[in-house]
């Protein structure tokens, strides 16, 4: 049985991805800070016939994230797909002239240390399986820096660089690394930014390892690796 670990799982995108991958036979590890919420989501998915379990971790604490991923592996099996998609905290979204060193420290812990810890934790298992995907979910500032949200603009640039290097390094091992950019807030059902539509795009990235970046909707002026 295949397992997907969703870091930053919630009732919107996380639930949609869990259902999309669950429909393909994946077990689901739901990882977030709030134990009550991930357990409730796991129960809801279970009532739909999807094997899911909740795990708690703070992505700014790499050891807690590593422990959650280890527990998921022990209980559900080797992780074939890792999705890193926690929502940035408000202090990361300040204008550049108001962004302090402490603000950036948190953003770097959130968007660089967390992804690095998570990726390294699951990679050996993917190599054992001979396949896998690491999927990054970022806002528009991950592809087009904005002075209005300096923390994410700076930290997402580092996350994107890490993801792009992984993409190039692992592509010959049948391990895909991809990124989806979602400008602005998630959309309503039927839009290209709806949870279900974004989940479908993430499934596409999982099954098309040659692609690095896709957009939930067009973002003029975006920069960085596109393939």
Torsions phi, psi of 208, nearest 5? -130, 80
Class of 3-215 per CATH? alpha beta
Residue with tokens 């949870």: 195
Nearest to 111 by CA among 84, 135, 91: 84
- Reported as half-sphere exposure (CB side, CA atoms, 13 A), residue 68 has a value of 32
The predicted structure's pLDDT at residue 95: 95
* Span 146-186, pLDDT tens digits: 999 999 999 999 999 999 999 999 999 999 999 999 998 77
Cα–Cα–Cα angle for 80, 39, 196, rounded to 5 degrees = 60
pLDDT tops 80 at residue 223: no
> Which element (helix H / strand E) includes 165?
helix 150-170
* Span 112-142, pLDDT tens digits: 999 999 999 999 999 999 999 999 999 999 8
Cα torsion angle, 33, 78, 158, 109, sign: positive
The predicted structure's pLDDT at residue 93: 84
pTM over 0.85: yes
Query: How far is it, in rounded angstroms, from Cα 100 to Cα 177?
Result: 31
Which residues are CB-neighbours of 15 under 8 A, at least 6 positions away? 9, 41, 44, 45, 195
The predicted structure's pLDDT at residue 128: 97
Task: Report the DSSP beta bridge partners of residue 53.
Answer: 29
Average pLDDT, the chain: 93
* 208 phi-psi bin (left φ>0, alpha ψ -120 to 50, beta other): beta
Nearest to 54 by CA among 36, 77, 78, 73: 36
pLDDT tops 70 at residue 52: yes
Query: How far is it, in rounded angstroms, from Cα 204 to Cα 215?
Result: 12
Q: In 27-100, which ranges are continuous DSSP H helix?
A: 35-47, 62-76
């Amino acid at each position: 049985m295949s397992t997907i670990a969703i870091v930053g799982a919630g009732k919107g995108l996380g639930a949609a991805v869990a259902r999309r991958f669950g429909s393909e036979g994946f077990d689901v590890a739901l990882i977030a800070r709030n134990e009550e919420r991930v357990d409730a989501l796991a129960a809801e998915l279970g009532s739909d016939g999807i094997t899911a379990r909740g795990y708690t971790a703070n992505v700014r604490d790499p050891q807690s994230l590593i422990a959650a991923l280890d527990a998921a592996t022990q209980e559900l099996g080797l992780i074939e797909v890792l999705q890193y998609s926690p929502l940035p905290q408000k202090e990361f979204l300040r204008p550049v002239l108001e962004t302090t060193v402490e603000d950036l420290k948190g953003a770097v812990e959130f968007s660089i240390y967390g992804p690095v810890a998570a990726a390294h934790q699951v990679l050996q298992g993917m190599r054992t399986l001979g396949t896998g995907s690491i999927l990054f979910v970022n806002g528009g500032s991950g592809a087009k820096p904005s002075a209005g949200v300096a923390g994410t603009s700076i930290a997402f640039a580092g996350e994107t660089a890490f993801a792009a290097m992984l993409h190039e390094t692992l592509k010959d091992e049948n391990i895909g690394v991809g990124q989806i950019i979602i400008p602005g807030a998630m959309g309503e059902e039927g839009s290209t930014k709806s949870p279900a539509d974004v989940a479908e795009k993430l499934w596409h990235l999982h099954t098309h390892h040659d692609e690095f970046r896709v957009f939930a909707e067009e973002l003029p002026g975006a920069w960085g690796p596109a393939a």
